[in-house]
A and B are shown apart, each in its own frame.
Chain A
């Protein structure tokens, strides 16, 4: 079981590391916060593997674990990190998207997302990742109509925070 657990964990991590990174970057203000949150999500993901019955899509499951952890994560609680170096990094040489403008926009977008209320952050993240209303409703535990209303409001607030970058609101 231990070997299986490790294999599944590595497989999930390999496939969904981008999703995890986007969640920690959206919820963590500093590199240290992001690393702490990343470790907390990884721990919860590890603990959740034996409970995964395959009824939901893996991506939905991981989204749920990651967002549930990020939402109730308490920065003031004792850090789990023992390593000084970061466990998750995105090196400049590894970026294929080398446009400075693109980097700047993504940076501004994360900055704005971090200023949103936590629930709106989760909605915006799922929206930007292209999840459907049904999946968002399942993850959040609210109706699809409610998702629509809340997402609309969150997008308006995000557009305001982006200061003129978005013009379709």
Chain B
């Protein structure tokens, strides 16, 4: 059989003859539900990531005003920086989403750029997320430690314990992010790169 025969006698005949059973009302309900679920998951993800930092900022600002302690404003500043960074990043990335009018190659390129950006964010999580908070909190604890330096050693030991706990927590968060990059994002990036390569190379040898 030739490809033309396969196309005309089987594929196109089958395509013309096949009558599909689709409950369009149920499908529309599902599409609406999916759309709402999709938008809600995006909203809550943004809220979790950016809102969480801003909530921390508000908390430390309030505590700073309540106890009139300048060092409490430092973690608040870190929270504001991280929250604003995330919001700006989300706004920029939203503008780069693929459009239905994009070609397949264009769509893959945009998806690849998004994955690469996600990898960049997670690989640099130390600089834009962990370190600002760590510096803010460390300076606050340092300030408290300085104030209680002449008291019994219990306060200093407590702060030291908190500091060690913070280092463990942040190390855990950092490695969790790197694991997500290795396990999820790098294979996805490689898959998209392979697709892009196969769609854009000219294969002049053929």
Contact = CB atoms under 8 A, between A and B. Distances in A.
Given A51-B99, A149-B203, A88 B20 contact: yes
Contacts of A51: 99-101
A39 B15 contact: no
Contacts, number: 172
A149 B192 CA distance: 21
Interface string B171-206: 000000000000000001000101100111011101
A139 B7 contact: no
B104 A64 contact: yes
Given A67-B104, A89-B21, A153-B206, A9 B28 contact: yes
Contact of B17 (A14, A52, A56, A95): A95
Contact of B21 (A22, A47, A94, A139): A94
Interface of B: 1-4, 6-7, 10-24, 26-28, 30-31, 33-35, 37-38, 98-108, 111, 188, 192, 194-195, 198-200, 202-204, 206
Interface of A: 6, 9-10, 13-14, 17-18, 21-22, 39, 42-44, 46-48, 51-52, 56, 61, 64-65, 67-68, 71-72, 74, 80, 82-83, 87-91, 94-97, 102, 105-106, 109, 117-120, 122, 127-130, 138-142, 146, 149-150, 152-153, 155, 159, 165-169
27 contacts: A9-B28, A39-B30, A39-B34, A47-B35, A64-B100, A68-B98, A68-B102, A80-B34, A82-B30, A82-B33, A87-B26, A88-B20, A90-B19, A90-B20, A94-B18, A97-B14, A102-B14, A106-B10, A106-B11, A109-B6, A109-B11, A117-B195, A130-B7, A141-B104, A152-B206, A165-B1, A165-B6
